[in-house]
Amino acid sequence: MRGVLVGVLVVVLLAIFLLWRVDNPRVEQLRAALIDRIVPNFEWALVPAAKFTNMISGFQSYVNIYEQNQELRRELQRLKGWREAALQLEQKNAKLLDLNNVRINPKLTYITGVVLTDSGSPFRQSALISIGRYDGVIEGWAAMDGLGLVGRISGVGQTTSRVILLTDSNSRIPVIIQPSGQNAILSGTNTPFPAIEFLEAPDAVHPGDRVVSSGDGNVFPRGLLAGQVVLGRNGQFLVQLAADYQRLEFLRVLRATSEEKIGVSDELVGVGDTPIDPKPQTSEDDG
Amino acid sequence: MADGLVAQVWSGRLIYFLCAGFLLFLSLVPLGFTPRFLPRPDLLLGLTFAFMLRRPDFTPFWLIAIIFLLSDILLAQPVGLWTAIMVVTAEFVRTQEYRFRELAFPLEWLFVTGTIFLALLANRIILSMSMVPVAGFGSVMLHFIVTVIAYPVVVFLCFFLLRIRKITPDEAIRYGHRL
């Protein structure tokens, strides 16, 4: 009797696995719904537990706070110089844009979520955040911390959603390497430094170049900073991520504004069934 | 007497469930998202083996199925496969448990190592047969080694914190286990 029960259970479990393999989106939706039920119940404990552990490691670094302070002062000095340069460039840019009469994309707006959990498995790099379908999150949107790209939304529940980090081995993001303007793919390798793949002319790329999202394939908006090029041990180009992966507490999820597609070549764009909305999208920042 | 035994078994199952839940919770606490070179050991696996080889009556197959299905869902793994493998593995370990009551710990450790290896191998073979992308061989091996090294620690903690120890032949008769 017992053996039969075990056998039936194993068959059912394997059937679930097969279903997951065949009809992946539906089972993943079910998974997202279940996580949505379970994890927020533990939010009260998850966030303090992470804070507490970080505090302990904070105490450990208390010792070298003096050196850190000195280093910060030097860095601040350097940054002041950069700030001056940035201000001048901003003015210059504004002037040039004015001359060209360029219309910039509607400003990207974002929603901010608290990081609830990490993936819990050493082979997956993902995070669960506390915003979901109720907040209008849609699969595929970009997630950033204050500075750089962190990952992509994959799996949305009602009040939670999962972010696949750039370091995950399934993450592939189209990027441009500045200043050479080369297109490439940033692919996660389950290490702290994702790799740059499909470079056309590797000679034109140097360590220190900026890597930004290219917006190809409508995965991400253009121009989000991912990080800097560094040279790997075996001569491969890697990216040092701009986002501070050690301290991900809040993530900004960018609302992607879908751009108007121009499919026909010999008609007037915007005339016909799609009326043009003259109002720019209203921005409402929750963060 | 019988009532006391039933209460003991159910409290043991509750302890296993709570410990497993706590380990799942720990693995989900967001502590830094940089992939580390040395992965954290799979303590849930160690805990399950430690319980199976000490008090198999505390870990019935349905409880193992619940715990591992929960871990499959929460840890973003392929749903169901690892659970099925663990249920089969647990049934196998259950039939072998009586051999290890009198044996020294290193032999048990060796047995656990071999069994975990076979379970991981089966998982990997089925995953690659069904064209699911699998993690790199090196990192899986590293995780396996770390998990195996952590096993004695788990057993030690089970003994000192939870008072889970091997049953004596006398108790085996009393609990109605195989001799």
- Count interface pairs A-B at CB distance under 8 A: 127
Higher pLDDT, A97 or B141: B141
Q: Does B122 touch chain A (CB under 8 A)?
A: no
Q: Which residues in chain B touch residue A34, judged by CB atoms under 8 angstroms apart?
A: 73
Q: Do A21 and B30 touch (CB under 8 A)?
A: no
Give the residue on B whose Cα is nearest the Cα of A168: B35
Q: Give dist(CA B168, CA B73) in Å, integer.
A: 37
Cα distance from B172 to chain A (closest Cα, Å)? Answer: 20
pLDDT, mean of residues A81-100: 79
pLDDT, mean of residues A93-100: 74
Q: Which residues in chain B touch residue A148, judged by CB atoms under 8 angstroms apart?
A: none
Name the percent of chain A lying above pLDDT 90.
19
Q: Are B114 and B129 in contact (CB under 8 A)?
A: no
Q: Does A15 touch chain B (CB under 8 A)?
A: yes
Q: Which residues in chain B touch residue A9, judged by CB atoms under 8 angstroms apart?
A: 61-62, 65, 87
Q: Which residues in chain A touch residue B61, judged by CB atoms under 8 angstroms apart?
A: 5-6, 9
Q: Which of B33, B63, B143, B144 to mutate to test the interface with A (most CBs of A within 10 A)?
A: B33
Q: Are B34 and A192 in contact (CB under 8 A)?
A: yes
Q: Does B92 touch chain A (CB under 8 A)?
A: no
Q: Does A117 touch chain B (CB under 8 A)?
A: yes
pLDDT, mean of residues A1-30: 90
What three-state secondary structure class fits A142?
strand
Q: Do B31 and A21 touch (CB under 8 A)?
A: no
Cβ contacts of A97 within 8 Å, gap of 6 or more: A104
Of B24, B29, B65, the CB nearest to A9: B65
Q: Give dist(CA A17, CA A286) in Å, integer.
A: 39
One-character DSSP codes across A75-117: HHHHHHHHHHHHHHHHHHHHHHHHHHTPPPPPPP-EEEEEEEE
Report pLDDT for A186. Answer: 92
Cβ contacts of B147 within 8 Å, gap of 6 or more: B41, B42, B43, B45, B46, B116
Give the residue on A whose Cα is nearest the Cα of B147: A122
Q: Give dist(CA A220, CA B42) in Å, integer.
A: 35
Q: Do A31 and B73 touch (CB under 8 A)?
A: yes
Q: What is the pLDDT of residues B61-86, one digit of tens each?
A: 999 999 999 999 988 888 999 999 99
Q: Percentages helix, strand, coil for chain B, rounded to the nearest 5?
A: 75, 0, 25
Q: Does B125 touch chain A (CB under 8 A)?
A: no
pTM score of the predicted model: 0.74
Q: Which of residues 28-57 of B touch A (CB under 8 A)?
A: 28-36, 39-40
What three-state secondary structure class fits A214?
coil
Q: Do A5 and B69 touch (CB under 8 A)?
A: no
Beta strands in A7-65 (DSSP E): none
If pLDDT is split at 50, 70 and 90, which confidence band does A3 have? confident
First to last CA, chain B: 21
Q: What is the pLDDT of residues A118-153, one digit of tens each?
A: 887 888 889 999 999 998 898 888 998 877 899 999
Cβ contacts of A242 within 8 Å, gap of 6 or more: A147, A148, A149, A225, A226, A227, A228
Q: Which residues in chain A touch residue B31, judged by CB atoms under 8 angstroms apart?
A: 50, 53-54, 118
Q: What is the pLDDT of residues A203-255, one digit of tens each?
A: 888 888 889 888 777 768 888 888 899 988 888 899 999 888 887 888 889 88
Output Rg (C-alpha) for chain B, integer angstroms.
17
Report pLDDT for A170. Answer: 86
Q: Where are the alpha helices (DSSP H) in A139-268?
A: none
Q: Are B58 and B13 in contact (CB under 8 A)?
A: yes
Domain-wise residue ranges, chain B: 2-30+42-175
Q: Give dist(CA A3, CA A109) in Å, integer.
A: 57
Q: Are A152 and A138 in contact (CB under 8 A)?
A: no
Q: Which residues in chain B touch residue A156, judged by CB atoms under 8 angstroms apart?
A: none
Beta bridge mates, A184: A175
Question: What interface predicted TM-score (ipTM) does this complex get?
Answer: 0.86
Q: What is the pLDDT of residues A33-63, one digit of tens each?
A: 888 888 888 888 887 888 887 777 777 667 6
Q: Which residues in chain A touch residue B33, judged by CB atoms under 8 angstroms apart?
A: 118, 125, 127, 165, 167, 245-246, 248
Q: Which residues in chain A touch residue B120, judged by CB atoms under 8 angstroms apart?
A: none
Give the residue on B whose Cα is nearest the Cα of A165: B33
Q: How many CB atoms are closer than 10 A to CB A219?
A: 16
Res B1 pLDDT > 60: no
Q: Do B27 and A10 touch (CB under 8 A)?
A: no
Q: What is the pLDDT of residues B119-128, one digit of tens each?
A: 999 999 999 9
Output Rg (C-alpha) for chain A, integer angstroms.
23
